[in-house]
Amino acid sequence: MPGVGLDIARTFIDALDRNDAEALATMCAAEGTWWVDTGLDRASGVHGHDPGDQRPWPLHGTMSLVEKVGMLRHLPTRFPQGIRQRAWNSFGDDRVGVVEVEGDGLYVSGRRYQNRYAFVITTDGQRVVDVREYLDTAHAADVFDGRHLDRRSVGPVPVAAHIEAGNHTERVALAFGAALSAGDGAAIGALAAEGATWWADSGRRREPGAHDAPADPASDRPVIGKVPLAMRLPLIDGFARSFASWVVEPVALVSDGLQAALQLTSHAPLRDSTDGAVYQNRYCFVLGLDSAGRLASVREYCDTLHGFDILRRS
């Protein structure tokens, strides 16, 4: 049975889908925060740091939950025909709900906004106290105006959270994170079922990022879209070797015993960089297991604007 945290998270996203800022406001704890990542400006996107007027986009970075919901009242001026936020998958427990969402709306500029999200919504059992919104920042930058979107910065080295597994799904999730941190694609493969898939969003090219598309075994860019998991494994080893050092630390884990959301953050100085570039992505991996307890699906939500920038430079 779903817990109260998941119930609150689903209700929150339903209100977001209706563009109902008043209903959202009634669900927010006064001290609550809402975080969204910040593209090339990594320092502004450190969770818990409010960049204030220096935030690249008006709604990104960590900000007051009440303040952000207040700003959502202006959505009708930015999306005159409305914007949908359709939940298509959710799971969680008594405290935290994870909701995967597809957004769709026509921006006032005439550009279509079709982002894909993983919302990790933490509650106190009655109200929302923290929202972490993972989305495709490369697509956001393509559609929305912002300030200093080309401003690069480096945040502090992340500190790992101590997480203990409470069930088999959580043990698989932590083993996945450890293998990713080790740059060990084979170890991830050892966790996976035959036919397992890996999905990641696609920036400006929206069609390859459809989550419900079949896996493409002939993809010319296996780092985006849905592909057989086996296609991603060699890339993990090579990607890790692109850096002078490679660290991926766990931040949080939530599971209902069938699915898990593992949040991670990376710190990896680019090898031979002339400008001190560091790969500092923030991830939410949504992992699904099959009936035998094997890893069947990986969905990777991260800051695509930062990720694609580093890929081009590595």
Q: Three-state SS string across the chain, please?
A: CCCHHHHHHHHHHHHHHCCCHHHHHHCEEEEEEEEECCCCECHHHCCCCCCHHHCCCCCCEEEEHHHHHHHHHHHHHHCCCCEEEEEEEEEECCCEEEEEEEEEEECCCCCEECCEEEEEEEECCCCEEEEEEECCHHHHHHHCCCCCCCCCECCCCCCCCCCCCCCHHHHHHHHHHHHHHCCCHHHHHHHEEEEEEEEECCCCCCHHHCCCCCCCCCCCCCCCEEEEHHHHHHHHHHHHCCECCCEEEEEEEEECCCEEEEEEEEEEEECCCCCCCEECCEEEEEEEECCCCCEEEEEEECCHHHHHHHHHHC
* Mean pLDDT confidence for 275-288: 96
178 pLDDT more than 70: yes
How much is the mean pLDDT over the chain? 95
The pLDDT of residue 274 is above 90: no
Cβ distance 35 to 47 under 8 Å?
yes
Burial of 305 (0-12, 13-18, 19+ CB in 10 A): buried
Query: Which residue ranges form the domains of the chain, and what is each CATH number?
Result: 4-143 (3.10.450.50), 168-313 (3.10.450.50)
Q: What is the pLDDT of residue 28?
A: 98
Whole-prediction pTM? 0.97
pLDDT of residue 2: 66
Condensed to tens digits (0 to 9), the pLDDT of residues 222-272 reads 999 999 999 999 999 998 999 999 999 999 999 999 999 999 999 999 998
Q: What is the pLDDT of residue 126?
A: 96
Amino acid at 151: R
Question: Are the CB atoms for 280 and 180 separated by under 8 Å?
Answer: no
Say which range, 33-42, 46-55, 169-178, 267-276, has the weakest mean pLDDT: 267-276
pLDDT at residue 145, rounded to an integer: 83
Per-residue pLDDT reduced to its tens digit, 46-81:
999 999 999 999 999 999 999 999 999 999 999 999
At residue 314, the pLDDT reads 74
- pLDDT score recorded for residue 272: 84
pLDDT over 70, % of the chain: 99
Q: Is residue 273 scored above 90 in pLDDT?
A: no
pLDDT number for residue 109: 94
